[in-house]
Amino acid sequence: MIAEEQILADLTGPQREAVTHMEGPLLVLAGAGSGKTRVITRRIGYLISQGVDPSTIVAITFTNKAAAEMAQRVHQFLDSESGFGPAISTFHKFCVQLLRMYGKTIGLESNFTIFDTSDTGKLIKTACGDVGALPAGMTVGKVEGVISRAKSQMVRPDELSSKLDLPQYLVPALSRIYARYEDMLRENKALDFDDLLLKTLDLLNEPFARDAIHRRYQYLLVDEYQDTNRVQYLLAKGFSAHTRNFCATGDPDQSIYGWRGAEIGNILDFEKDFPDAKVVYLENNYRSTNHILNAADSLIKNNKQRKDKKLISVLGQGEKLKIHSCEDENDEARQVVELIRQAKLKGRAYSQIAVMCRVNSLFRTVEQTLRDNGIPYQLARGVSFFQRKEIRDLMSYLRVIANPADTVGLERIINMPTRGIGAQAQAVLKDYARTQGVIFYEAVLNADRIPSLGKSQVNVIRFAEMMERLRKTVANGVTMEELVRQTIDASSLRNYYQKRSEKDNRPDELSPVANLEEFVGTAQNYDREAPDGSLTDFIAQLSLVNDIDAVEDDSDRVVLLTMHAAKGLEFEQVVIIAVEEEILPHAMCLGNDNQIEEERRLLFVGITRAKRELHLCFSHHRSTRGSYRQNFPSRFLKEIDPQSVEGMDVSELTRPTRVSQFVISPRKSADTEAVTALPARPKCQYRPGQRVYHQKFGYGVIQEVYLSGTNYNASIQFNIAGLKKLVLGIAPLHIVQS
DNA sequence: CAAGCCATGGTTTTT
DNA sequence: CCATGGCTTG
Ligand SMILES: Nc1ncnc2c1ncn2[C@@H]1O[C@H](COP(=O)(O)OP(=O)(O)OP(=O)(O)O)[C@@H](O)[C@H]1O
């Protein structure tokens, strides 16, 4: 065991106070870079030094990467061979472990499959079809949104109308789809991401499981508490109900996942939940220089409904940040390359430079330009590998082997690669399954008894034999590497993609076959790291991989990542691109003040990742999905204290891009004369071709202006919202100057 | 039944 | 711009 002094070394008074707090609820409320994560890590060490059994400690982080880093740091606080260490993981992963262990008590088999959004999307689509035509104005995507919102707020299908603010006429269809969706999950023996949390909550309501979990875990620590959702909040309370040893850390200004149900209220109401909670504030920042902090602070001050925080850097003033005005995305990418070159000349490592933006798609040009200039980089998109078609195919085989009830997976692979089991044959199988009341896989196994399969019958039988052979292999015990190799060959996936690559004549590194090989490597890693793992566990690990988890720390490459993925990280130098209206804040968020505030927090998070040097870029033009468009600097740039900005005439940003609003008085324009010759009429400033900004619909171009009754109306093509007809005196419109 | 072609439409962030 | 789906042809 390590000496207490070492654990408490390099901590400020308040940090130490939090670290040495033993029993009872504790909240560490502090700004960016103030050492919250360090507090959690040291506190785990301190608890252990005070004789707490490490295996009774649970620490929840936001990402697997953060968990791995914390585990590594905590490792030094442990006796070399002292049994189990603390559980350090994300909410989702921790829940999966508990469900595998205790799921039986709530009727959950331990080989359940985790469905990702693409799987659940398929289910919801089918569910929509089953239920009949969708109500007007509803799309599958919107239904998905409603269901996911309902689940994260723990609203059941029959409670939609009372608990969710939905138009009444949509409710019957939606609750039927939702109920059907839940049934299908059960049929597939699958859980979606929300279920992982919800079912664990069920565990905590089941005496046997609850007691076992409570006996095992005595101390709970949750990092990034500001981004927990309702279910996670209830889980945290449930896990710690017996001891009330619950330590939460977070920063309300860094809450950026409201869009998927995170409730900032969890952290704001902590003291109400636990009136006896000890609250520690940290006011020193050890990460960034004062100019960077000041920029961040001046920005975030524009959010209403927040408590102001004091945060002082211990690193001095530092350099001012720079705002770069670029012509278009190519120019922007060139400037980024130039900044990286200069940094490299100054002796900065590539890996200490991050390029961030709001949406991954904006990295295309930057990536190309970095490649062209020989600058090494890595894109933080771990999931993209697992979303490749060939990898999803392979994973689907593994999923069905582990859980034959996984019909979504089975439907994907039954004719992939094509093996003569077409739509017709599949319909016959499905029909058989339905009439016999068995799962789809069972129908496949019974193919020899289904003559109506016709010519396909023999193909189905052969497929069934192949799958059963693989299943037997697993039952007899096999490494994941071996299983993956066998699956790739037995399924003919390798053959199929090999042939296709030959035809397409693509460069090798990106080829599907190479990806399949890489997946073998993934399996090898798993075998090495989890010698007594299982197929189910292997698949689950992969289902919970996160973008940022795949970023390699030990390679000297520039990191490209979204600001969401940057949560909790830090870099010497940060370059944020496309700080433009309709990108940041994103077009989808315009017109909703809460969402705009979250966008502001997002930029705040991006800015506060920088230790010493910060650059913000915007482009005047950008081509998005084919068309070349004019863009405007983000409103957020104007909010940053000019005192901390260098190198650019900040007034260029404050120069109004929007002409102030005017209203046509309906009375005065009350003539019936048709008005098509618009320029002649001084009463109406709007003309076809003008760019306008609408509070709700965002930016658009006026197509036509006409008089209707006593009002001028206009038809406006909005970039996002599409063509709308609006009454000019009433609609909240601004003219935008180009 | 397979494969390739064209039209359509949707269009963030992610556990 | 991209992915998906429907249609046609082999
Ligand atoms: N007392 C201290 N002395 C020196 N450095 C410290 C101290 N506390 C924290 N740091 C350093 O400050 C940096 C930020 O710490 P940490 O990541 O724990 O902050 P945080 O509050 O979790 O930040 P954020 O909320 O922005 O993710 C780290 O590099 C950490 O090592």
Q: What is the 3-state secondary structure (H, E, C) of A438-503?
A: CCHHHHHHCHHHCHHHHHHHHHHHHHHHHHHHHHHHHHCCCCHHHHHHHHHHHCCHHHHHHHHHHH
Taking CA atoms, A269 is separated from A147, A277, A669, in Å, by 26, 11, 53
Structure tokens at A5: 């002094």
| C4 C1' to A381 CA distance, Å | 23
Residue A681 confidence class, pLDDT cut points 50, 70, 90: very low
| C-alpha–C-alpha distance, residues A457 and A428, integer Å | 10
Spell out the domain ranges in chain A.
4-106+196-282, 113-188, 295-383+552-654, 385-544, 690-735
**CATH 3.30.70.1150 is the classification of domain A113-188:** no
pLDDT score of A706 more than 70 = no
Separation CA A15–CA A492 (nearest Å): 58
A36 is catalytic: yes
Pairwise pLDDT comparison (A131 vs A401), residue with the higher score: A401
Residues A411/A439, Cβ–Cβ less than 8 Å: no
Give the closest nucleotide to A626 (alpha carbon vs C1').
Answer: C1
Rounded CA gap, A674 and A706, in Å?
Answer: 7
Please say if the pLDDT value at position A339 is more than 50: yes
Count of Cβ atoms closer than 10 Å to residue A33 Cβ: 26
Predicted confidence at residue A144, as pLDDT, reads 86
Report the helix count and the strand count for chain A, using DSSP H and E.
30, 25
Q: Give me the CA A12–C1' B10 separation in Å, rounded.
A: 51
In a 3-state reduction of DSSP, which class is residue A378? Answer: strand
Residue A414: is its pLDDT beyond 90?
A: yes
The per-residue pLDDT for A387 is 85
- Per-residue pLDDT, A89: 95
> What's the confidence (pLDDT) of residue A565?
92
What is the biggest distance separating any 2 CA atoms in chain A, rounded to whole angstroms?
A: 91
**Fold assignment, A385-544:** PCRA; domain 4 (1.10.486)
Q: Model confidence at A174, in pLDDT bands (50, 70, 90)?
A: confident
Nearest CA, atom 23, ligand 1: A33
Q: Which residue places its CA closest to the C1' of nucleotide B2?
A: A418
Pocket test for ligand 1, best of A6, A11, A38, A249 (most atoms within 8 A of CB): A38
The pLDDT value recorded for residue A722 is 60
Distance from C-alpha of A430 to C-alpha of A441, rounded to nearest angstrom: 9
Is the distance between the Cβ of A600 and the closest atom of strand B smaller than 7 Å? no
Whether A254 is catalytic is yes
Question: CA-CA distance, A210 to A665, in Å (whole number)?
Answer: 66
Report the amino acid identity of residue A335.
Q
pLDDT in tens, A657-673: 433 222 222 222 222 22
Q: Is A378 one of the catalytic residues?
A: no
Q: Which two tokens stand for residue A99?
A: 């469900």
Backbone angles phi, psi at A281, to 5 degrees: -105, 135
Residue A59 to residues A67, A237, A348, A567: CA-CA distances in angstroms?
8, 14, 33, 17
Listing DSSP states for A220-263 in one string gives EEESSGGG-BHHHHHHHHHHTTTT--EEEEE-GGG---GGGTB-
Mean pLDDT of A8-22: 93
What would the mean pLDDT of A499-509 be, rounded to a whole number? 65
Q: What is the pLDDT of residue A659?
A: 31
Closest by CA position to A122, among listed A50, A29, A188: A188
Q: Confidence class of residue A694 from pLDDT cuts 50, 70 and 90?
A: low
Q: Quick: pLDDT tens for A55-109.
A: 999 999 999 999 999 999 898 888 766 678 899 999 999 999 999 999 999 999 9
pLDDT of A709 reads: 47
Half-sphere exposure of A268 (CA within 13 A, CB side): 12
Closest CA to A365 of A624, A630, A719: A624
Residue A626 CB in 7 A reach of strand C: yes
From the candidates A63, A90, A228, A254, give the one annotated as an active-site residue.
A254
* pLDDT at residue A158 is higher than 90: no
| Arithmetic mean of pLDDT over chain A | 86
Highest mean pLDDT out of A4-13, A485-494, A624-633, A692-701: A485-494
> Is A227 within 8 Å of A262 (Cβ atoms)?
yes
Q: Looking at residue A506, what is its pLDDT? A: 56
Establish whether A609 is a catalytic residue: yes
pLDDT at A537: 94
Q: Where are the alpha helices (DSSP H) in A50-163?
A: 64-75, 91-102, 117-131, 140-152, 160-163
Which is the CATH superfamily of the domain at A295-383+552-654? P-loop containing nucleotide triphosphate hydrolases (3.40.50.300)
Considering the segment(s) A4-106+196-282 as one domain, its CATH architecture is 3-Layer(aba) Sandwich (3.40)
Higher pLDDT, A450 or A703: A450
Q: What is the ipTM of this complex?
A: 0.93
For residue A205, what pLDDT is reported?
95
CATH fold match for the domains A4-106+196-282 and A385-544: no
